[in-house]
Amino acid sequence: MCDPYEFPWRRRFLAAVLWLAGVSSSPAQQPTSPPASAGSETVEVRLVQLTLHARDRRGRPVTDLSADEIIVKERGRKMRIAFLEPFASNEPPPAGVKLYLAAPGNSTEATATSEAGDARYVIVFIDADNDYRLLRHEASAQLLGFIRDELDDSTRMAVFSYDGQIHLEQSFTSDSEALVGAVARGFGRPSRPRLDLRARMRGLQRNLESCERSGRSGTRQGDESCLRGVAYDYADERRPRAKEFLAGLEELIGFAGGLQARTTVIALTHGVAVDPARELREAMRAVYGNTEQLAALQLAIDPGEGASHRRDALTQQALEQRVALHFIDRQPAPSGDFDASVGQPYQPGASPLRTAYEAAQGDLGIMAERTGGMLIASPDVLGSVRRLMELERGGYSLGFYADNRVSLLKPLKVRVTAKRKGVRLHQGRAYLNRPGDAPVLPASLSLGAPVSLEEDQRAGEFVPFTLVLDPTPLVYTVGADEAAADFTIHVRVETSTGRAGAETFHFFRHAYDRETWEAGEAEPVPIAGWTELPPGGYRIVAYIRNPRTGRTAELIRELDVPK
């Protein structure tokens, strides 16, 4: 099994960090400097990364920025740039490279070639549970129109849907007809029963008003026990949906983590507020005003930072897996709040309906901003998808070096500016590049005997290869009738300089019957493939991942094709 740092881009980053730090590093350690000699200062160098999107004054993507045109500052102090790499290279791919992988369940997958250049990976996430329920047919038609008419050959798209659980409708493909069927299935999934925003807030208002008791003249007061019960009931109804929504996104990111490439997620959803405390407070303030009871209720219903911590952990996971979260919210903003159901006006300045609307949308905005994505609130799905795809064309991965004067105990405050006039930058959240510590997935990659292509009037070789995945109890989950596991496989053929020639991605579920598994008779899973290569130096890179457990295998085999 090869060292995970043999991946070209990781090796390049690590070599630069080690060169600056002057030390060696194991995969489980951050590179650090040796003990300082007398009169010297110990400097620990870390690699920090973030995503950038560059646009000109007219909003068009800027695709030719270079590192010397970028200035990076952390809390006002200038940082040294390690690299600036576009999401998709503008260089033509090496000609004549072909790749095929006969992954389980994907025997009809087309051969991947080098003709289209670097692949762009996009996931469409159709939220049947939280997307705006009206005009879904129109939204579906617009998305299908983009896929049929505007999806280019270099873009590989996958489709997921969500109805309380995540569903893979279609793995990555450039086949527009397969994608059309997947989108239709996603929009066709039934959503769970739920009240719309206005009805939900009106019901909460009525329940809060039912707690009113006589108080001092001119004031409205509620029975504290009653108010607390209403708050708990409302929170108990809302929090599970938020937890399920975040779990769906986590599973989606785990799937995308099987790619050794950036993945763009375009989600059609209004989302769910991760914590209902904000809308509860505003609803109570609308009825009873800013009373001492409001402060007491806030302490009772506020769960602390637990809900936001899970959201923040999700965005960190997305950053580390190079996943950008874009959201299209089709639900229109409420036109205005309504008075209390008994006919009494709200307290001055209270707007519970708008607060509830903005609470869900606010969490989407945080996740998008931190991962280098964007939140678009618009019913125009076609225009929004076009805008997001155009934004990604001007995308870059930026890395810079931070020494031990940059504290890791507080969030990095990074500002990136462009020297070129008229260039506007939209940046994601900066994060420390930590070596992966996921447990290793037992697998191997072997090459077969090459066959010359000269007989077919082509120079080069046909090279078969075999991936073998070894089953272990730590990988497969044992159920009532079978032991099963999910896997993603990303295989690339690269030149010796790291330029991608061809690549293919598969997602599959593999299972043994329980009797075979418990008898210890489960045999390894062989996955066959082949590649055609013109003369030159190459490497075959395979990245296998169990998205549910995080166990991974990174395998490389180098080969030279003589002239």
pLDDT given for residue 344 in this prediction = 57
277-306: pLDDT as tens digits: 888 888 888 887 776 666 666 656 665 556
Q: How far apart are CA 294 and CA 275, in angstroms?
A: 17
DSSP code for 97: -
**With the CA atoms of 142, 146, 149 and 153 taken in that order, what torsion angle do they form, in degrees rounded to the nearest 10?**
-160
64-78: pLDDT as tens digits: 899 999 999 988 889
Q: How far apart are CA 330 and CA 64, in angstroms?
A: 33
- Nearest CA to 49 among 14, 91, 90? 14
Residue in this structure with the two tokens 């293919």, named with its chain if needed: 504
Q: How far apart are CA 183 and CA 225, in angstroms?
A: 48
Helix axes 292-301, 224-256, angle to 10 degrees: 40
Q: How far apart are CA 384 and CA 427, in angstroms?
A: 19
Tokens coding 194? 């739920």
Residue in this structure with the two tokens 């008898």, named with its chain if needed: 519
pLDDT given for residue 550 in this prediction = 80
**What are the angstrom distances between the C-alpha of 339 and each of 10, 287, 342, 411?**
58, 9, 8, 42
Mean pLDDT, to the nearest integer, of 22-34?
Answer: 36
pLDDT given for residue 137 in this prediction = 93
**What are the angstrom distances between the C-alpha of 128 and each of 125, 157, 270, 298, 405?**
9, 19, 10, 32, 47
pLDDT given for residue 107 in this prediction = 47
Mean pLDDT, to the nearest integer, of 442-448?
Answer: 90
List the domains of the chain with CATH numbers.
4-87+394-432 (no CATH), 98-117+437-561 (2.60.40.3880), 136-392 (no CATH)
Give the largest Cα separation in the chain, rounded: 100
pLDDT given for residue 180 in this prediction = 94
Residue in this structure with the two tokens 């329920």, named with its chain if needed: 133
Query: CB within 8 A of 285, min separation 6: which ones?
Result: 294, 347, 350, 352
Asked whether the predicted pLDDT for residue 38 surpasses 70, the reply is: no
349-372: pLDDT as tens digits: 678 888 889 999 999 999 999 898
Residues paired with 489 in a beta bridge: 506, 544
Mean pLDDT, to the nearest integer, of 126-146?
Answer: 94
**With the CA atoms of 141, 147, 148 and 150 taken in that order, what torsion angle do they form, in degrees rounded to the nearest 10?**
120
Which amino acid belongs to residue 107? S
Reduced to 3 states (helix: H, G, I; strand: E, B; else coil), residue 504 is strand
Residue that wins the pLDDT comparison between 514 and 411: 514
The pLDDT mean for the chain works out to 81
pLDDT given for residue 225 in this prediction = 84
> Whole-model pTM?
0.82
Q: How far apart are CA 66 and CA 288, in angstroms?
A: 58
- Nearest CA to 436 among 291, 289, 298, 553? 553
pLDDT given for residue 446 in this prediction = 92
Residue that wins the pLDDT comparison between 115 and 378: 378
Mean pLDDT, to the nearest integer, of 441-462?
Answer: 82
Query: CB within 8 A of 312, min separation 6: which ones?
Result: none
The percentage of residues in the chain with a pLDDT greater than 90, rounded to a whole number, is 33
Q: How far, in whole angstroms, is CA 74 from its chain's centroid?
A: 25
The percentage of residues in the chain with a pLDDT greater than 70, rounded to a whole number, is 80
Q: Where are the alpha helices (DSSP H) in 86-175?
A: 136-150
Residue 277, classified by CB atoms within 10 Å of its CB into exposed (0-12), middle (13-18) or buried (19+), is buried
Mean pLDDT, to the nearest integer, of 187-211?
Answer: 87
pLDDT given for residue 384 in this prediction = 96
Confidence of residue 9 (pLDDT cuts 50, 70, 90): very low
pLDDT given for residue 423 in this prediction = 93
Comparing 1-10, 134-143, 196-205, 257-266, the range with the smallest average pLDDT is 1-10
Helix axes 136-150, 176-188, angle to 10 degrees: 170
324-354: pLDDT as tens digits: 999 999 999 887 665 544 455 566 667 888 8
Is residue 428 within 8 Å of 392, Cβ to Cβ? Answer: no
Q: How far apart are CA 152 and CA 141, in angstroms?
A: 18
Tokens coding 306? 């637990």
Mean pLDDT, to the nearest integer, of 448-463?
Answer: 80
Residues paired with 323 in a beta bridge: 263
239-283: pLDDT as tens digits: 889 999 999 999 999 889 888 888 999 999 999 998 888 888 888
Comparing 116-125, 181-190, 356-365, 442-451, the range with the smallest average pLDDT is 116-125
Confidence of residue 124 (pLDDT cuts 50, 70, 90): very high
Task: For residue 458, give the H/E element and its range.
Answer: none
Asked whether the predicted pLDDT for residue 184 surpasses 80, the reply is: yes
Comparing 288-302, 315-329, 453-467, the range with the smallest average pLDDT is 288-302
pLDDT given for residue 10 in this prediction = 42
Tokens coding 300? 């009772």
Q: How far apart are CA 228 and CA 283, in angstroms?
A: 13
